Chain A
Amino acid sequence: MSGAPKATLSKTILFLGLSICAYLVIFFNIEPLNQFFLSKAVIPAFCLLGTVIAIAFLYGTAVSNVLSILGLDSDH
């Protein structure tokens, strides 16, 4: 019985940690990153969208897991 919530909790901590790390890395390196992302070429544009998807996935999963633990999960 305790296996499933424990797995969710560890997954939640993992995703929370990863999303915090991702946010910190991006915001502490925003100037070189923006220089690359705003260079008006195909590869930087793809990289920017890739970064956005990665953050949406990491943070979205973390939030979803936290709310699931609190009993507030939804279909989104």
Chain B
Amino acid sequence: MAGETISLIGEVMTFIDITPKAAFSMAGLGFLGGMLSGFIGSGGAFIMTPGMMALGVPGIVAVSSNLAHKFGKAMVGARKHSKMGNVDARLGIFMVAFLLIGVKLAVFLNEHIFNTLGKAGSNLYISLVFVVLLSGLSLFILRDIFNPNHKKGANKPTGFAEKLAKINIPPMIHFKVANVRVSLWFVAIIGLATGWLAGTVGVGGFIGVPAMIYVLGIPTMVAAGTELFLAIFSGAFGAFNYALNGFVDIRLVLLLYLGSLLGLHIGANATKMVSEMQIKFVMAVVIGMSAVSRAFAIPKYLVDLQMANFSAGVARVLDLAATVTLYGGAIVGVIMICRYIMRFKQGQKLKTHTIHLKEHSNRDSA
């Protein structure tokens, strides 16, 4: 299936051809991303966007298609999430205003870079954002896992938030559901950052949720619920803006759905069988490998932009390493999830067996 050509000011961009191999890879990528997304709670895009780029999809098309994919999923899930009642509507409305500015800024920047530096420049920009953010996030999660206070259950993300709450920069706003009083400026900064990230790499929640918890001191459930509310707006606004410029490839969105909606349910089911620490460990491994993968991809983009001088062989090896690390990370994550499920099932089987044995012995003694 031939790719469509879009004429832009700086470069003529072609959507990739969907061969049976590409279609299968895209659906597989969707499955990996969906499963991790269901397991971790959000953010399959940090596997799906780099994965699509590794398959030859221009970065800006990967981000746009991912946003459209996320938007459809969020819209369908919105009814269920609204029933959960964990959304602070006031906080959501304040954040949405700044979130949309952030998304618009990201779309403008992405398009500007694509128009001036072409596909390689856009890929370089997106990859750099991925490397900085994902490596930071992975280290943060690992620190959280190995923090001895956390294991004792003494971890309360209020230290920094308490200090911020004391900073009185008007206007100060009280959020009823979250039960916090913070300056509007902090809400604005988090909203802008979340929106910019959502528009740049296709997912903002992995920064938005921790920022709401650790910076604003909002309870975890309210932060997660409010983020789902925000995801609908960032997805809709981002996807619409990119679609207006012809960057959304509907074929990719549909192929991603084939795997992701199935993986999402399996991943979500798996969360019932594992501990929070195991979820965090999978998250750190997958995010860390994804960051390493993007770091390997950067030299090729630098060569394409004539900013660095690597031999073609070295660039090719690094490109291959990027693909292997990315898929390796996702596959390792899925294997870890499957192992945790199998261990849980074995434990359950053993429990049932023990109960049966006890029942039998009770009956015999009676």
Contacts and interface: CB of A to CB of B under 8 A. Distances in A.
Interface of A: 23, 26-27, 30-31, 33-35, 37-42, 44-46, 48-49, 51-53, 55-57, 59-60, 63-64, 67, 72-76
Given A27-B1, A56-B75, A60-B73, A74 B265 contact: yes
B261 A42 contact: no
Contacts of B245: 40
A30 B131 CA distance: 35
Given A74-B265, A74-B269, A40 B76 contact: no
A52 B265 contact: no
Interface in B230-270: 236, 239-240, 243-246, 248, 250-251, 253-254, 257-258, 261-262, 264-266, 268-269
A59 B259 CA distance: 11
A37 B38 contact: no
A26 B349 CA distance: 46
Nearest to B84: A75
B248 A56 contact: no
A6 to B, nearest CB: 22
A45 B251 CA distance: 15
Nearest to A37: B250
Contacts of A41: 244
Interface residues of B, dominant DSSP: helix
Given A27-B251, A37-B250, A38-B246, A52 B268 contact: no
Contacts of A35: 4
Contact of B248 (A37, A53, A67): A37
A48 B76 contact: no
A33 B268 contact: no
Nearest to A42: B244
11 contacts: A37-B250, A40-B245, A51-B250, A52-B71, A53-B76, A55-B254, A55-B257, A57-B72, A59-B261, A72-B265, A75-B80
Interface string B160-184: 0000000000000000000000000
A74 B267 CA distance: 9
A72 B265 CA distance: 8
A54 to B, nearest CB: 8
Contact of B250 (A40, A48, A57): A48
Contacts of B248: 37, 48
B72 A55 contact: yes
A38 B268 CA distance: 35
A38 B61 CA distance: 12
Contacts of A60: 73, 76, 257, 261
Contacts of B250: 26, 30, 33-34, 37, 48, 51-52
B104 interface: no
B55 interface: no
A76 B35 CA distance: 12
A34 B3 CA distance: 10
A74 B265 CA distance: 6
B40 interface: no
B81 to A, nearest CB: 9
A39 B253 CA distance: 18
B119 interface: no
A34 B73 contact: no
B100 to A, nearest CB: 16
